[in-house]
Copies of this chain bind each other. A is one copy, B any other.
């Protein structure tokens, strides 16, 4: 999917919501635990309930890996279910990978060849040759960590070099030499507020994947105020606030209502910024 196609989906669905599938056996409705594959059973219902209100899904690989082989089966089934039933969705593996070239090639094979995903999150610490192998598959996207939503983002990402350039800015500037804006996004936490202005100076045209709205406390209003561009340029993720809105047997309807509420808020913001006709 190109950036333009993604923007077309955003306009058509009046939403730039990404639903994070951080599916945790300890948090899903207990009624599902008797299913053969409770994780997939939960995801399937959540996807059917929310697909009308979002443009992307982001399964977080950690939540699947921790279940071992069963988790990987659930991950594969989830991706396949989205692909087959909602082909307009952009699917992101939130995996935060990155390693020496021959190993990154293996990860790229996992996510783009074996699993047919659209994008994978990648950590920049090991530099160019750890990132580029993710771009060898036609149309594949890298979503590079820039300024994350957690407290630890302050430990290294804000370190200034001799010229006053902070590490996350250096990551954004340097990585633009590796791929164009149809293949590269950045992760910027919603908790970073006005820092979005600095991000937009370094990357005016790129899409940003924005976690941290909802459970982590970031404000959608602020993100849009400081981060939106003329192609929207934002995919705002919400995981826990939507998928765990309710753990009774009504969980699907509650997730639907929550996703719809966020979509409505996004529709208003897109309209306010002149991106809907």
Binding site for B on A (CB under 8 A): 22, 24, 60, 62-63, 65-69, 72-73, 76, 94, 96-104, 106-107, 109-110, 113-115, 123-131, 145, 148-157, 159-162, 167, 170-171, 174, 211, 216
Contact = CB atoms under 8 A, between A and B. Distances in A.
A150 B130 contact: yes
A66 B106 CA distance: 6
Contacts of A167: 156, 159, 167
A258 B249 CA distance: 60
Contacts of A152: 126-131
20 contacts: A24-B106, A62-B99, A66-B109, A67-B114, A68-B114, A69-B69, A96-B98, A96-B123, A100-B148, A100-B150, A123-B125, A125-B125, A125-B157, A127-B152, A127-B153, A129-B150, A129-B152, A159-B167, A160-B161, A167-B167
Contacts of A110: 62, 65-66, 68
Given A128-B151, A152-B127, A152-B130, A106 B65 contact: yes
Given A104-B62, A106-B63, A161-B160, A127 B155 contact: yes
Contact of A160 (B94, B153, B162, B171): B162
A66 B107 contact: yes
B149 A100 contact: yes
Contacts of A67: 114
Contacts of A103: 22, 60, 62-63
A161 B159 CA distance: 7
A124 B127 contact: no
Nearest to A69: B72
A72 B70 CA distance: 9
Contacts of A170: 156, 159
B99 A97 contact: no
Nearest to A97: B96
Q: Which has the most chain B C-beta neighbours within 10 Å: A65, A104, A113, A174?
A: A65
A123 B125 CA distance: 7
Nearest to A74: B69
Contacts of A171: 156
A175 to B, nearest CB: 9
Contact of A73 (B60, B69, B211): B69
Contact of A98 (B109, B123, B149, B211): B123
